[in-house]
Structure 1
Amino acid sequence: MKISVALCTYNGSHYLQEQLESIAQQTRLPDELVICDDQSTDNTIEIVKKFATKAHFPVRLIINEKNLGSTKNFEQAIGLCKGDIIALSDQDDVWNPKKLLIMEGIFLTKTNVGAVFTDAELVDKYLNPLGYTLWESIEFTKKEQKRFNNGGSVEVLLKHNVVTGATMAFRSEYRDFVLPISSSWIHDGWIALLIAFKADLVIVPEQLIKYRQHSAQQIGAGSKRDLLITIKERASKLIFGLKIDPNEYLNCFIQYREISAYTNRKLSSINNEKKSYLKSKVEHCYKRVEMPQKRIQRFPIVMNQLIKGNYHRYSYGIYSFVEDLLR
């Protein structure tokens, strides 16, 4: 089994060296490291080139002719990997030395597994622990973890994405299925959900990376943690008559309608239970988009979604219920 690491860089000179060293210190070295740089203007390229001369595995550096953005840059890096397993890497984290070894062991012993992802220790820019884990920050609960282990990955992922790309590896046999990545999605959410329709996803509770939080990063756990806080705050603020941009609901509907159309086009058959969950998610998103402006007309629709359990299954529970009731 060969392992590729797909790493995307953009002005990453502050933290890149530590990440590269952590990859070089893996007890199971990768068979290649594919780095796609998205038009960095600092000395990122020099750091990579210097590292490549000393690495004990091939390092391929691709410098983009134009800026692609994070999602499309990862799409490119994934497409260039030659390994049986593709492990995704951010430019500013630090890996546990056993990360690739543990992941490889799962893929070797469980042939039905399509992807693996782990928890992470959240740290500041100096690698000081923040006192909570990645899964705690995104509220990936013990109940949801148990559901994941019992084959309920699609249901969990349709409520919220709990897979962070920097902690994920997947079999390259699914690459043609997950590419191209929709521009309306972040790469990790798209890849994880699609693979979940075809194979098992395994969770690893160990914190196998130090997931750095800093002001310059494009996506971080802090922003995901803030998302839930924002949902709760928005629900309470609606009491005072504040308006919420209706495009937020529309974007959600477009995303999952796209996933539905994509799976119907790409898959000859879908597990009936998973198909039902996806259909219900799309319908729930549509209901939220089409809510009447008058609250009295909205009330029976909102109550129907609550009674069916759709707010708790596909949104943020009581907070989303209050949001729809009062907006």
Structure 2
Amino acid sequence: MDKRSKTRISVCMATYNGRHFIEEQLNSIFPQLSEYDELIISDDHSTDGTWEFLLELKAKEPRIKLFQNKGRGVIANFTNAIQQSTHSIIFLSDQDDVWQPDKVEKMLPYFENPQTQVVVSDLVIVDNEFKVLAPSYQAMRRTRAGFWHNLVKSSYIGAGMAFRSEFKAIILPIPPTVPMHDMWIGLLADYYHGVVFIPDPLVYYRRHGLNASEIKTTASRIQQFKWRWNALCLVRERIKEVKKK
């Protein structure tokens, strides 16, 4: 049995009114899953037929596990999906991107280092027709590891992120007031020096005006400072809780 067949993965996807896009993403993910892997999908009360489509697909695809979001919003939706995962490596997935065919194969080997908690790949930013808007998210954002660097300007992006299941004990529950789930996961992993950024552009990251997240914030500097201060306080509080266990 090779290493890939021994490593079972959970892909955690959050959906909301993504019926127009989701099939392309699913078609890019399923060929990379073994029969033992799972695709966890948490839906945030979609009204465009996404949930009905997923119910039909689940009847034919046993690797899909469907859940409805217990709360509202992106953070609660990803939290719900991550909570339901059962395998050793967790990949996060947006509903409207497309994975490169070797994404899983290229990311898994980095977890052979026991220090590594989170791996983040590069992305190709594209529009709705897959026209390239930026060939490298990492170059555009000047991404790198480092807690303080990423507190000021976050390098983390969930669409390119995978992490160990043991890390759930630290990141969950994700506070609803953090700026975004991927920043929370990355900052905690960075605190433990466990983040690896890899240069491979393994996701077509689609920007089409309907996304639930944005690359560049339009918030004021005061609001951004408040978010960062709040994130710092929440990370410190969680680390204290972990040390007490």
Q: TM-score, normalization: structure 1?
A: 0.67
Query: Is the 2:184–2:231 contact (alpha carbons within 8 Å) kept by the matching residues of 1?
Result: no
Q: 2:191 aligns with which of 186, 197, 210?
A: 197
Q: Which amino acid aligns with 2:177?
A: S
1:94 to 88, 93, 98: 98
Q: Distance in 2 between the 1:211 and 1:93 partners?
A: 5
1:156 aligns with 2:149: yes
Gap regions ≥5 residues in structure 1: 232-243, 270-327
Q: Which residue of 2 aligns with 1:68?
A: 72
The yes-or-no answer on 1:167 pairing with 2:160 is yes
Cα displacement (A) at 1:51: 3.1
- CA distance, structure 1, for counterparts of residue 241 and residue 208 of structure 2: 40
Over 3 Å counting, the alpha-carbon distance change for 1:110 and 1:248 in structure 2 is closer
CA shift, 1:53, in A, is 4.0
Higher helix share: 1
Q: CA deviation at 1:248?
A: 4.4
Q: Which has the higher contact order (CA 8 A, sep 6+)?
A: 2
Distance 1:170 1:30 in 2: 18
Aligned residues: 238
Spell out structure 1 runs of 4+ moving beyond 6 A.
Answer: none
- Scaled by the length of structure 2, the TM-score of the pair is 0.88
1:7-156 equivalences under 5 Å are 7-26=13-32, 31-55=37-61, 58-64=63-69, 67-107=71-111, 109-140=112-143, 145=144, 148=145, 153-156=146-149
Identity %: 33
Shift of 1:67: 4.9
SS at match of 1:122: strand
**Structure 2 unaligned regions, length at least 5:** 1-6
Cα displacement (A) at 1:170: 0.3
**Aligned residues: CA RMSD:** 2.3
The change in CA–CA distance for 1:131 and 1:161 in structure 2 (over 3 A counts) is closer
Q: Larger Rg: 1 or 2? A: 1
CA distance in 1, matches of 2:224, 2:152: 15
Q: CA deviation at 1:158?
A: 2.6
Separation in structure 1 between the aligned mates of residue 170 and residue 108 of structure 2, nearest angstrom: 21
Q: Which amino acid aligns with 1:61?
A: L
Task: Name the CA shift for 1:247/1:163 in 2 (closer, same or farther; >3 Å).
Answer: closer
CA distance in 2 between partners of 1:7 and 1:205 (Å)? 23
